[in-house]
Amino acid sequence: MLLHSPGASAGLGEGTALHFAKNGAKLALTGRDKTRLDDVAKRCSNCGIPADDIRTHYGDLTDAAFRTATIEKTVAKFGRLDVLVNNAGLFFPVESMRMSETQYDQAMDLNMKVPFLLSQLAVPNLEKTQGNIVNISSLFGAKATPMSGIYCISKAALDMFTQCLALELAPKNVRVNSVNPGFVPTLIYGREGSVLHGKDDEIQKNVDI
């Protein structure tokens, strides 16, 4: 089984990669932080996967060329795609009426647009393997929360996208599901004993909720 997990360098993406590694999957891991992603790849290899069965892609998934290259290089390397995990996400702890247009666009692009477009790229290959798409959403997709407006909106949209795509792909035996976790201890939340501990630029990249 081949797992493609955008955002595999920390948090839920890291845990997902290690889980699949323990079950013998070939992995294509994506992230912006080369050091952290290389560390995750090494830990996956320590689970018993040959190093040649792990491919790392360093880049920004909001870049169209990088998205396309990631899927194409993965299929070229392994010959197939079984699972796409849409995990990369962005969170701004700011009141909705204080959020800038740039922040709005960045959050919606990464939390909703990227999973949508990656799915489009992956589905032709998943149809061949009767594979799966797993969207990492959040309980905030169903629960309104202060200081999290655009995050809640983007995750609610991701959940609806999951349901619509699941109906469209069911006749082709491709399953589409979302996972809606609560707060998860990651680089920022939980490890330092407080919510949203860290610098603003770190917070927006690493909170998993």
Predicted pLDDT at 186: 61
Ordered domains of the chain (ranges, CATH): 2-206 (3.40.50.720)
pLDDT class of 8 with cuts at 50, 70, 90: confident
Q: Answer yes or no: 151 catalytic.
A: yes
- Which is catalytic among the residues 58, 104, 151, 189? 151
Look at phi and psi of residue 196 and say left if phi exceeds 0, alpha if psi is from -120 to 50, else beta: left
By C-alpha distance, which of 137, 29, 101, 113 is closest to 63? 113
pLDDT class of 7 with cuts at 50, 70, 90: confident
- What are the C-alpha distances in Å from 18 to residues 70, 129, 181, 202? 20, 22, 18, 23
Rg value, the chain, Cα: 16
Averaged pLDDT score across all residues of the chain: 87
10-58 residue pLDDT tens: 888 999 999 999 999 999 999 999 999 999 999 999 999 999 999 999 9
Please state the pTM of the whole predicted model.
Answer: 0.86
Dihedrals φ, ψ of 5, to 5°?
Answer: -125, 90
Distance of alpha carbon 185 from the chain centroid: 16
**What number is the average pLDDT over the span 81-98?**
93
Beta bridge partners of 83: 3, 132
d(CA 188, CA 208): 8
Predicted pLDDT at 9: 84
59-78 residue pLDDT tens: 999 999 999 999 999 999 99
The count of other CB atoms within 10 Å of the CB of residue 120 is: 12
Give the chain's largest Cα–Cα span: 50
Residue 203 has pLDDT above 50, yes or no: no
159-185 residue pLDDT tens: 999 999 999 999 999 999 999 998 776
Minimum mean pLDDT range among 13-17, 129-133, 149-153, 180-184:
180-184
What share of the chain in percent tops pLDDT 90?
78
Q: Are 114 and 84 in contact (CB under 8 A)?
A: no
